Chains A and B, each alone.
Chain A
Amino acid sequence: MTWFKKDEEQKEKREEPKPSDHLWVKCNSCNEIIYRKVIERNLQVCPKCNYHFQIPAQRRIDCVADPGTFIEYDVNLISTDPLEFKDSKRYPSRVKESQEKTGHKDAVICGEARIEGQPAMIGIFEFNFMGGSLGSVVGEKITRLIERAIEKKSGVIIFCASGGARMQEGILSLMQMAKTSAALAKLHEARIPYISVLTDPTTGGVSASIAMLGDVIIAEPKAMIGFAGPRVIKETIRAELPEGFQRAEYLLDHGMVDLIVERKDLRHTLASLLEMLKLES
């Protein structure tokens, strides 16, 4: 029974690495522990279950934009502390920490690029920046992006990854939902296509504004998408949640997203949709 023994040995070996180890990553979906480099080489996608990991904004640009075409806008918009928010840590120091961690000034990166030759205005949420939360800077940058798109008559793509509102900016954060939706209303009237790409996770205030207003809504496989958090729902209804609840596939089943696209196919899908949707001039 040597092979049996060997199998057990292997199992032990597999369980050895800890997810906190920088070399190894635990998959959020299948719990498999995978060598980080393998995932990185695979566009941050789990090779076992096809779960699409969060991806830094810069890598997202590399994944979809034609090389060297991305021009970033509004790099120097910085948040203030309008509420002088009381917390264990001050809001400005939380912002500073995130800036150091990500190398970005706030939670969204906006700019223009070409995708298989198609010009597009692109916004990318950086989840590692305070959970991709929607503060005044994010709202302003997205609004400016959309206004530029109207000016240049070029389609808009926003990659969402956000826990929702930025609590530290209170009501002003909530109002960013109205502000960005207002800009999207103008875009809609100008008949310029807007594609939203919902990545893991897209929840709360971002889901109930930017994310769900796409003319076409694309989701990445297994992405968590919803308005209320699963824990809150569970506590409210005091019952187990259905299997796969609030995952991209579940939303597709319920008619809430247009399609699920794997990361490796995203560039082509976006380019062809942009081309087919735009008004003939």
Chain B
Amino acid sequence: MVKHYLEFEKPLVEMEREIENLKRFSRGNPLYFREQLKSLEEKLHRLQKEIFSNLTGWQITQLARHIDRPKASHYVQWMCEGFVELHGDRNYGDDPAILGGMARFNGRPVTIIAHQKGADAKEMAYRNFGMPHPEGYRKALRLMKLAELFKKPVLTMIDTPGAFPGVGAEERGQAEAIARNLRMMVVLRTPIITVVIGEGGSGGALAIGVGDRILMLEHSIYSVISPEGCAAILWKDGEKGKEVAAESLKLTAADLSRLGVIDEIVKEPLGGAHRDAEGMARILKEVVERHLKELEKMDEEELLSLRYEKFRRMGTFIDDGGT
């Protein structure tokens, strides 16, 4: 049973309860209820399919932020072996909002860098809800340089509302830390795979997102500004306009694929990653392995020039000529 559910998940949860009750009730006489149970389960499957094939931008935003949605640490645990967490930026401190370290992915060592939102209230507070300070981005950069030095591929996972807006963060150079990561990632001499696993919040997300491959889980989002923030600016009311903004911003995996920003949408189990977290990790592991194999075949020069071209091409405009 799920712990938390969203408004549009309610009919599903109710039907699941019904099934659960029927199962309990029928324990003494399973044959008698078998037909009824079967039809209910089919109905549930149909309903789930129906709801999840017509999600609005705002509903996907809610799924991307779902409290039960698997966090980066879940994928590290289920996709990798022998994770050793590494801490600190060697400069100011350690930022728990960024999880980093070395692990084995299908046998080979990789460097992991990810936003970690936290799975429960306590961890969320400790992780600052996955909103990094500059030291988080500098830790990320330090680990990327480590990966480059020892020729290990980098796997980053994006899941953040954005970089933390605070006095200390500004004083210690939030903008500089993000900017430097962008510049360094473009020329990092090792393969980088980026997966948006939940919420991709603006520059704070991009700061670990300049990869050779950018993948997005089906119900994750990636946007220049949150729907609430966009609505607050355009309609002076973040609450009322957020649903319109979530559509306008084109922030879903399908949108980003259409806009040519991402390389692949990773299918989620029916009902979303939180319904089958282990299944999600299995699916993602396969996809990452496939991309990693492709990247490992390239030599450094090819890798870097393709990465440059990838970002060089981003954007749309009309060129009416002239120098």
Which positions in A face B, CB cutoff 8 Å? 73-80, 82-83, 85-88, 135-137, 139-140, 143, 165, 167, 169-179, 181-186, 188-189, 204-205, 207-213, 225-229, 232-233, 236-237, 241-242, 245-246, 254-256
Chain B's closest residue to A175 (CB) is B314
Which of B7-15, B71-79, B179-187, B274-282 sits within the interface? Answer: B179-187
Q: Which single member of B184, B186, B203, B316 contacts A205 (CB below 8 Å)? A: B203
Q: Which single member of B166, B314, B323 contacts A236 (CB below 8 Å)? A: B166
The reply to whether A211 and B259 contact each other, CB–CB distance below 8 Å, is no
Given A171-B224, A184-B183, A256-B173, list of 15 further CB < 8 A pairs? A78-B317, A136-B317, A165-B202, A169-B315, A171-B223, A172-B315, A177-B206, A179-B311, A179-B312, A188-B183, A205-B202, A205-B224, A208-B182, A210-B179, A213-B179
The reply to whether B202 and A213 contact each other, CB–CB distance below 8 Å, is no
B292 contacts partner chain A, Cβ-Cβ < 8 Å: no
Kindly provide the distance from the CB of B179 to the nearest chain A CB, expressed in whole angstroms: 4
- Residues A170 and B249 in contact in the complex (CB < 8 Å), given A77-B319, A186-B308: yes
What residues of chain A lie closer than 8 Å to B256, measured between beta carbons? 171
The reply to whether A82 and B225 contact each other, CB–CB distance below 8 Å, is no
What residues of chain A lie closer than 8 Å to B178, measured between beta carbons? 208-209, 212, 227
B302 contacts partner chain A, Cβ-Cβ < 8 Å: no
What residues of chain B lie closer than 8 Å to A175, measured between beta carbons? 206, 261, 311, 314-315
What residues of chain A lie closer than 8 Å to B93, measured between beta carbons? none
Kindly provide the distance from the CB of A202 to the nearest chain B CB, expressed in whole angstroms: 9
List 18 A–B pairs whose Cβ atoms lie within 8 Å, in order of A's numbering: A74-B319, A80-B316, A167-B224, A169-B224, A174-B223, A175-B311, A179-B311, A181-B179, A182-B182, A182-B183, A208-B163, A208-B203, A212-B175, A225-B175, A228-B163, A236-B165, A236-B166, A242-B167
The reply to whether B210 and A178 contact each other, CB–CB distance below 8 Å, is yes
- Residues A78 and B179 in contact in the complex (CB < 8 Å), given A205-B224, A228-B163, A233-B165: no
C-alpha spacing A211/B183, complex, angstroms: 12
- Residues A181 and B317 in contact in the complex (CB < 8 Å), given A171-B256, A212-B176, A226-B175: no
Q: Which of B145-185 contact A (CB under 8 A)?
A: 163-167, 169-176, 178-180, 182-184
- Residues A185 and B317 in contact in the complex (CB < 8 Å), given A171-B223, A177-B203, A227-B175: no
Interface centre among B203, B247, B250, B308, by most A CB within 10 Å? B203
The reply to whether A140 and B171 contact each other, CB–CB distance below 8 Å, is no
Chain A's closest residue to B323 (CB) is A73
The reply to whether B311 and A178 contact each other, CB–CB distance below 8 Å, is yes
The reply to whether A176 and B186 contact each other, CB–CB distance below 8 Å, is no
Kindly provide the distance from the CB of A159 to the nearest chain B CB, expressed in whole angstroms: 17
The reply to whether B321 and A76 contact each other, CB–CB distance below 8 Å, is yes
Interface centre among A165, A175, A237, by most B CB within 10 Å? A175
C-alpha spacing A37/B247, complex, angstroms: 46
B234 contacts partner chain A, Cβ-Cβ < 8 Å: yes
The reply to whether B248 and A136 contact each other, CB–CB distance below 8 Å, is no
List the 8 closest A-B pairs by CB distance, nearest first: A136-B315, A228-B165, A76-B320, A181-B182, A207-B175, A175-B314, A208-B178, A227-B175
The reply to whether B167 and A233 contact each other, CB–CB distance below 8 Å, is yes
What residues of chain B lie closer than 8 Å to A204, measured between beta carbons? 203
The reply to whether B314 and A172 contact each other, CB–CB distance below 8 Å, is yes
The reply to whether A171 and B170 contact each other, CB–CB distance below 8 Å, is no
Count A-B contacts at CB 8 Å. Answer: 201
Kindly provide the distance from the CB of A181 to the nearest chain B CB, expressed in whole angstroms: 4
Q: 1/0 contact trace for B257-268 toward A, CB 8 Å? A: 001010000000
Q: Which single member of A171, A211, A228, A246 contacts B222 (CB below 8 Å)? A: A171
Q: Which single member of A73, A177, A207 contacts B182 (CB below 8 Å)? A: A177
Q: 1/0 contact trace for B17-32 toward A, CB 8 Å? A: 0000000000000000
What residues of chain B lie closer than 8 Å to A139, measured between beta carbons? 314-315
The reply to whether B320 and A82 contact each other, CB–CB distance below 8 Å, is no
Kindly provide the distance from the CB of B109 to the nearest chain A CB, expressed in whole angstroms: 26
Chain A's closest residue to B230 (CB) is A167
The reply to whether B206 and A178 contact each other, CB–CB distance below 8 Å, is yes
Q: 1/0 contact trace for B228-249 toward A, CB 8 Å? A: 0010011100000000100111
Chain B's closest residue to A80 (CB) is B316
B318 contacts partner chain A, Cβ-Cβ < 8 Å: yes
Kindly provide the distance from the CB of A157 to the nearest chain B CB, expressed in whole angstroms: 17
- Residues A78 and B318 in contact in the complex (CB < 8 Å), given A86-B247, A177-B182, A227-B163: yes
B107 contacts partner chain A, Cβ-Cβ < 8 Å: no
What residues of chain B lie closer than 8 Å to A212, measured between beta carbons? 173, 175-176, 178-180
Q: Which single member of B170, B223, B259, B316 contacts A226 (CB below 8 Å)? A: B170
Chain B's closest residue to A237 (CB) is B166
C-alpha spacing A73/B322, complex, angstroms: 8
Q: 1/0 contact trace for B196-221 toward A, CB 8 Å? A: 00000011001101100000000000
What residues of chain B lie closer than 8 Å to A237, measured between beta carbons? 166-167
C-alpha spacing A43/B235, complex, angstroms: 36
B251 contacts partner chain A, Cβ-Cβ < 8 Å: yes
What residues of chain B lie closer than 8 Å to A74, measured between beta carbons? 319, 322-323
Kindly provide the distance from the CB of A88 to the nearest chain B CB, expressed in whole angstroms: 7
